[in-house]
Amino acid sequence: MPKLGLNIDKYLRTQVLPTVWCPGCGNGNIVEGLATAFSRMEVDPTRVVVVGGIGCSGRTPFYVQTNAMHTTHGRALAYATGLKMAQPDLTVVVTAGDGDALAIGGNHFIHAARRNIDLTVLLYNNGIYGMTGGQRGPTTPFGSRTTTSLAGNIERTFDTVEIAMAAGATYVARTTTFDMQEIPLRIQEAMAHPGFAVVEILTQCPTYYGSLNQLGDASDMLIWQRDLTDGVPVKMLNREELLGPLRTGVFRNEKVTEFTQAYSDLCSQVGGNYGHN
């Protein structure tokens, strides 16, 4: 979107740009969406921590001019849980890829959701492992080609939204880098939500997913994303078609006791005073 009138540079660590990502990668658009949300919400950068895992998306914390924690593969949510519990009035945003959050980090994802701890998770879903060069992941669509599924992926695909909801996330949304206006809106909603909030963002990987599956360049992949998500109701997990349609939007937005609040209540109950700095 035009950045007219909004100085998002304030929320960018411009001295480390350009980003590490390949030409045409949509991750930069998500960073832009995040900086835009920060900008609109006028957050204090010293009171925000962006926590990333390992993988392309995990590099996000380097690019936003807030506190940044680049952790280990799959564990970002566990780090973030400790951090948030230690200082509950910090705003903690977790950026994780589909591999980071749902393959190696799947367990922390479901448990953070179960606890309903006040974290905002931006789940960058490009359907492939980018940083290591294009291997199959848990969200790689059935039948897709990757460097470890050259004859087509035979594994079934996770639906992030389904998993997040079953595990107990209280805000769940999905959007795409095609729908770029939506990204900051969803992030703002998620950050404003007191509880575990997941925004899945489909993002294009032209270098690996696109080229291995002959989807054209980054521009072509945006159109593909649009078609992929074009108003069709969300499918259950069992889809075994290549590139099945996925609905975008907000799937859940419920208020349920948040975990740091529950912990605070517990402490009060036994005479403790939690949450001061």
Q: What are phi and psi of 240, to 5 degrees?
A: -120, 15
Q: Say how many C-beta atoms besides its own lie within 10 A of residue 46's C-beta.
A: 9
Among the listed ranges 152-160, 175-183, 204-212, 224-232, the one in contact with a second copy (CB under 8 A) is 152-160
Hey, what amino acid is at 172?
V
The answer to whether residues 194 and 169 touch, using CB atoms and an 8 Å cutoff, is no
- The correct pick among 212, 239, 247, 274 for binding other proteins (CB under 8 A) is 274
Residue 165 contacts a second copy per CB under 8 A: yes
Residue 78 contacts other proteins per CB under 8 A: yes
- Cα–Cα distance measured from residue 113 to residue 107, given in angstroms and rounded to the nearest whole number: 10
Residue 159 contacts a second copy per CB under 8 A: yes
Between 116 and 146, CB nearer to a second copy:
116
The answer to whether residues 93 and 122 touch, using CB atoms and an 8 Å cutoff, is yes
Q: Which does 97 bind (CB under 5 to 8 A by kind): other proteins, a second copy, none?
A: none
Q: Please report how close the Cβ of residue 233 comes to other proteins at its closest, in angstroms.
A: 28
The answer to whether residues 93 and 137 touch, using CB atoms and an 8 Å cutoff, is no
State yes or no: cis peptide before 45, omega within 30 of 0: no
- The correct pick among 16, 20, 86, 166 for binding a second copy (CB under 8 A) is 166
Q: Please report how close the Cβ of residue 59 comes to a second copy at its closest, in angstroms.
A: 23
- The correct pick among 19, 263, 274, 275 for binding a second copy (CB under 8 A) is 263
Between 114 and 247, CB nearer to a second copy:
114
The answer to whether residues 190 and 198 touch, using CB atoms and an 8 Å cutoff, is yes
- Cα–Cα distance measured from residue 215 to residue 235, given in angstroms and rounded to the nearest whole number: 22
- The correct pick among 214, 231, 236, 270 for binding other proteins (CB under 8 A) is 270
Beta carbons within 8 Å of 98's beta carbon, 6+ residues apart: 123, 124, 125, 126, 127, 137, 138, 139, 158, 160
Q: Which two tokens stand for residue 177?
A: 């880098």
Residue 166 contacts other proteins per CB under 8 A: no
> What are the residues binding a second copy (CB under 8 A)?
103-107, 110-111, 114-116, 138, 151-152, 154-159, 162-163, 165-168, 237-238, 240, 254, 256-257, 259, 262-263, 265-266, 269-270
